[in-house]
Structure 1
C-alpha cells in the first residue's frame, strides 16, 4: 500500500487562532488528475488543494464532489502554506485565473474577481440570532448563504453557508461568498461565519476584491491509497 502525505491548515481563524475552515494540502505531483476527486472525497474536507508546481503557485481545488475553478479559503490557505515552506507564492494560478497574494502582519489575502466561485442563493436575515438558529436541513439545494448585520457602520456581518448538494452540509468559512457580497454591497466587510471564523475583505475596482484572514497549521495526515491512485 502506498501513502500520500496530507498537510492540514485551518483558514480564517479568529484572532486567538480558534475556529477556521480545515484545508487539506496535497503534493499534486503524487496524485494523477483522475484520482484527485476520489482522494478529496476520502479526506472529507470542504476543499482539498493539489499543488502541482509550488514554485509557480499552480494548484487545483476539489470539494468532495467536484472541482472548483476558484475558492477563497483554499487559495488563502495554500498561499500561507507555500510561504511557510519557503516559496515566495506572490501569485497563485488556478483554473479561474491568476491570483495575486498579499500579506499584512498575520493576515494573508488573495485578490479575486467577484464573478469567480460558486453561485449563491442569498438570504439577508433580520438578526444574527436568526442566522445562528438556521438548520442546514432546511436548505437542500445549491449554495445557500445566510447573513445579517452585526454592526452595519463597521461593515461587520454574521453568516453561515450550506451546500449539501456539493457534499458540504455547512461550510465554516467561504471566501468566494465574502468577495461576492463585498462587491454587491460596495464596501469592505468583516465576516464572522460558521462557528466563529473571521474573514476580512477589501473592495477594489471593477468587481475585484480581496479576501483574507489568519491561518494556523494542524497535524499532518498520512493516507493509504490503492496503487492505481498513484503516479508510477
Structure 2
C-alpha cells in the first residue's frame, strides 16, 4: 500500500470538523496519471494530493474521478504540511503563508473549477437542504450576518463519484469572495470554518486551520 498522510483542512475553532485530504508525499511512487487517479478513487477523499517536488511545492491534485488544475482545501493542506512559501499547480503559482493558527493561500478565481453559487434566504434553508441530484457542482449559501461577512454554506459536488457533500470547499469560497468582493467568514458543512479576503490585482486569500489526522 502506498504511504500517505491525512490532514483535516478548514477545521472549526475547537479543532473539529474540516475536510479530510490525502497527501502522498512521495509522488514518484505513482508517477502515472492513471495510477494516481486509481489511487485517489480507492482512498475516496474529496481530493488527494501527490507531491512531486516538496522543496518547490509542486503538487498534483485528484478527486476520485478527475484531475484538477487547482483546488482550495488541497492547496491549504499541502502548504501547511510541506511548510513552503508557495505551491506550483497546473493553474499557476499559489502563494502560501502561516499566520498563527491559520494557513493561508493566495489564488485567482479563474483557476477554480466551475461552481453554481446558489443563494438562499436564510441559514436555516441551507441547513435543511437535501443532497441534489448528480449534475452540476452546487455551492449553496446564505448570509448569517451580512454586515459581519458571516456566511452559512454547503457544497454538493454532483459528480456521482461517491462524495455527495464536500465538508469544506476552498475553490467555491474563492469564487463567492470574488463575486461579492469582500472578506468572508464561512461556516460550511457540519462545522468547518473558511476565512477569505480579496487582495489587489484579482487575487483572493483563503485561510483555515489544518490538523494532522494520521
> TM tier, shorter chain?
over 0.9
2:138–2:158 CA contact under 8 A, matched in 1? no
Aligned partners of 1:100, 1:206: CA distance in 2, in Å? 14
Q: Secondary structure at the match of 1:5?
A: coil
- Structure 1 partner of 2:67: 67
Distance apart, 1:157 and its partner CA: 0.2
2:134–2:160 CA contact under 8 A, matched in 1? no
Aligned partners of 1:164, 1:41: CA distance in 2, in Å? 16
2:126–2:142 CA contact under 8 A, matched in 1? yes
- Structure 2 partner of 1:150: 144
Residue of 123, 126, 129 corresponding to 2:121:
126
More displaced, 117-126 or 209-218?
Answer: 117-126
Aligned partners of 1:130, 1:29: CA distance in 2, in Å? 45
Aligned partners of 1:50, 1:117: CA distance in 2, in Å? 19
1:115–1:207 CA contact under 8 A, matched in 2? no
Distance apart, 1:205 and its partner CA: 2.3
Determine whether 1:192 maps to 2:190.
Answer: no
Larger strand fraction of residues: 1
Q: How many correspondences in the alignment?
A: 211
Aligned partners of 1:140, 1:44: CA distance in 2, in Å? 17
Aligned partners of 2:90, 2:160: CA distance in 1, in Å? 19
Larger Rg: 1 or 2? 1
Distance apart, 1:206 and its partner CA: 3.3
| Runs of 4+ deviating beyond 6 Å | none
Residue of 14, 37, 42 corresponding to 1:16:
14
Aligned Cα RMSD in Å?
1.0
Structure of higher RCO (CA pairs closer than 8 Å, 6+ residues apart):
1
